[in-house]
């Protein structure tokens, strides 16, 4: 048996008035997902413990069956692995977003209007030239997503994810220490944030963006700090080899520690205009070598962060017509039987524009195993599924029949 997990990041939601009281999953036309659902077993999965932040890093680790409380060390270290940034034991790594701060000092968005990678790399280059030292440095990533590593930094700090606080004043959300040992690190990071604003506000890249009516990337923002994690590979845990396909460094970082082969698909943007067909084709081809393929598609999460319900519906319809249809049809032609799971990592409700702790709906199609009574895939329908509510490693063990 081979396995594909189609991870539709943040696709679950709450009922939205604009959609007639339906969630985007309910409102979207997804005939291929629903047809597969009718042949699947369904349920809800609690991916994030209530006492941990509902970030994608924790949720995706949980989907893959890792003990998140044992291995979680922050998002930055995972992205460092995917970027090929080697960390020493005392290196503190963290995500560094390029964000947009409006004239009133509020975080307008977490992505600087989804700044293109080429423009953001020019900004990161100048940040390093003017702000970096031998003890800390910026590492360029994709679009607004970058990395900051500081030697000897204290992990006793609290950082606020910028996508959690759109519209709020940045000054009350800056880094704070959680113990006296973290005071110096917090003060240094906050100083860099303020100095970055002075530099980026007048940068030619941002002046041009403003003149074109685009949001400037006028501040850095640090979040999810941690040290290098100690993780077993997926094969060590579950006896299966893996491959990962995404557009997001975080997911490739998880894959790196899990021992998965990283497959990069041209045109993968992490947005609604990503190369859906290319990613679906790559997932099926990867089954030739890997036991399990983790196909991560970010688009619905970004639509949720933008609060755009219509766009979120469209991303789900793209997922259905351009990914699920192809994978179902093509895997039926293979010599190996292929089990297919579909689920998000966490909800990203459009009305909140951030992640929540709610359990997520999932479906598992296993060739030769009868489905349950669920005929359509959404947040409410799966509650009647045969799996009920799963936690921890129960989902991955159910998929792998362990």
DSSP for residue 367: T
Q: Which residue among 191, 226, 261 closes a domain?
A: 226
Assess whether 181 and 308 both reside in one domain: no
Pairing of strands 91-101, 219-226: antiparallel
Q: How many domains does the chain have?
A: 2
Question: In the block, which residue shows the tokens 């921890």?
Answer: 392
In a domain, 79, yes or no: no
Check whether residue 291 and residue 182 sit in a common domain. no
**Do 333 and 198 fall into the same domain?**
no
Residue 260: per-residue pLDDT:
97
Cα 131 from Cα 133, distance rounded (Å):
7
Answer yes or no: is 115 within a domain. yes
CA distances from 104 to 160, 169, 211, 268 (A): 19, 8, 19, 34
pLDDT of residue 250: 87
Paired sense of beta strands 242-245 and 157-158, if any: unpaired
Sign of CA dihedral 386, 392, 396, 398: negative
Cα–Cα distance measured from residue 121 to residue 386, given in angstroms and rounded to the nearest whole number: 48
pLDDT of residue 76: 85
Match 């489905």 to its residue by tokens: 371
Matching residue, tokens 């699947």:
40
> pLDDT at position 89, please?
86
Confirm whether 80 is domain-assigned: no
240 in the same domain as 369: yes
- Residue 41 in any domain: the answer is yes
| Three-class secondary structure of residue 383 per DSSP | helix
SS3 content of the chain, % helix, strand, coil (to 5): 40, 20, 40
Residue 285 lies in a domain: yes
Instruction: Tell me which residue has tokens 């800056």.
Output: 174
Same domain, 277 and 381: yes
State how far the Cα of 278 lies from the Cα of 4, in Å rounded to an integer: 15
Measured CA to CA, the distance from residue 11 to residue 25 in angstroms comes to: 7
Query: How many whole angstroms separate alpha carbon 159 and alpha carbon 153?
Result: 14
Q: Answer yes or no: do 35 and 99 share one domain.
A: no
Examine the domain organization and report whether 221 and 236 are in the same domain: no
- Let me know whether 195 and 97 are in one domain: yes
- Would residue 10 count as lying in a domain? yes
Strand, coil or helix: 94: strand
Residue for token pair 């989804």 = 114
pLDDT at 83: 86
Domain shared by 120 and 238, yes or no: no
Name the CA dihedral angle for 45, 51, 53, 57, rounded to a multiple of 10 degrees: -50
Residues 250 and 164 in one domain: no
**For residue 206, what are the domain limits?**
86-226
Residues 6+ apart with CB under 8 A from 73: 226, 227, 228, 229
CATH number at residue 62: 3.40.720.10
Tens of pLDDT, residue by residue, the chain (402 residues): 999 999 999 999 999 999 999 999 999 999 999 999 999 999 999 999 999 989 899 999 999 999 999 998 888 888 888 888 989 889 999 999 999 999 999 999 999 999 999 999 999 999 999 999 999 999 999 899 999 999 999 999 999 999 989 999 999 999 999 999 999 999 999 999 999 999 999 999 999 999 999 999 999 999 999 998 889 999 999 999 999 999 988 899 999 999 999 999 999 988 899 999 999 999 999 999 999 999 999 999 999 999 999 999 999 999 999 999 999 999 999 999 999 999 999 999 999 999 999 999 999 999 999 999 899 999 999 999 999 999 999 999 999 999
Residue 78 domain-assigned (yes or no): no
Select from 200, 226, 252 the last residue of a domain.
226
**Which of 226, 246, 268 is a domain's end point?**
226
Is 77 part of any domain? no
Neighbours of 394 (CB within 10 A): 16
218 and 250 within one domain:
no
Q: Given this model, what pLDDT does residue 74 score?
A: 81
> Exposure string (b/e) for 67-104, b if CB count within 10 Å is 16 or more?
ebeeebbbbbbbbbbbbebebeeebbbbbbbbbbbeee
Answer yes or no: do 221 and 242 share one domain: no
């Amino acid at each position: 048996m081979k396995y594909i997990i189609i991870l539709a990041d943040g696709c679950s939601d709450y009922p939205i008035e604009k959609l007639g009281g339906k969630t985007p999953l309910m409102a979207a036309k997804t005939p291929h997902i629903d047809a597969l659902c009718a042949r699947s077993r369904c349920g809800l999965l609690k991916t994030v413990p209530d006492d941990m932040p509902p970030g994608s890093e924790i949720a995706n680790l949980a989907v893959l069956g890792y003990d998140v409380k044992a291995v979680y060390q922050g998002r930055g270290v995972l992205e460092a692995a995917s970027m090929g940034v080697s960390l020493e034991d005392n290196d503190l790594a963290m995500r560094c977003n390029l964000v947009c701060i409006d004239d009133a000092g509020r975080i307008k968005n977490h992505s600087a209007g989804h700044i293109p990678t080429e423009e953001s790399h020019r900004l990161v280059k100048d940040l390093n030239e003017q702000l970096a030292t031998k003890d800390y440095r910026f590492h360029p990533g994709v679009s607004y997503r970058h990395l900051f590593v500081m030697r000897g930094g204290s992990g006793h700090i609290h950082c606020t994810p910028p996508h959690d606080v759109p519209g709020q004043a940045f000054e009350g959300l800056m880094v704070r220490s959680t113990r006296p040992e973290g005071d110096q690190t917090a003060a240094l990071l906050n100083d860099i944030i303020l100095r970055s604003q002075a530099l980026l506000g007048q940068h030619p890249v941002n002046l041009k963006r403003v003149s074109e009516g685009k949001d400037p990337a006028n501040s850095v923002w640090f979040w999810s700090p941690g040290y290098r994690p100690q993780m077993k590979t997926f094969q060590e845990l579950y006896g299966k080899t893996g491959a990962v396909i995404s557009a997001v460094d975080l997911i490739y970082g998880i894959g790196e520690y899990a021992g998965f082969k990283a497959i990069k698909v041209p045109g993968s943007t992490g947005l609604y205009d990503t190369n859906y067909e290319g990613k679906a084709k790559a997932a099926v081809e990867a089954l030739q070598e890997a036991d399990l393929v983790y196909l991560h598609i970010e688009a619905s999460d970004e639509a949720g962060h933008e609060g755009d319900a219509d766009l979120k519906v469209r991303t789900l319809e793209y997922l259905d017509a351009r990914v699920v249809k192809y994978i179902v049809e093509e895997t039926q032609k293979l010599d190996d039987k292929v089990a297919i799971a579909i689920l998000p990592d966490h909800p990203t409700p459009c009305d909140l524009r951030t992640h929540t702790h709610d359990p997520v709906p999932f479906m598992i199609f296993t060739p030769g195993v009868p489905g349950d009574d669920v005929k359509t895939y959404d947040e409410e329908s799966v509650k009647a599924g045969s799996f009920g509510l799963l936690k921890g490693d129960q989902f991955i063990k159910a998929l792998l029949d362990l």
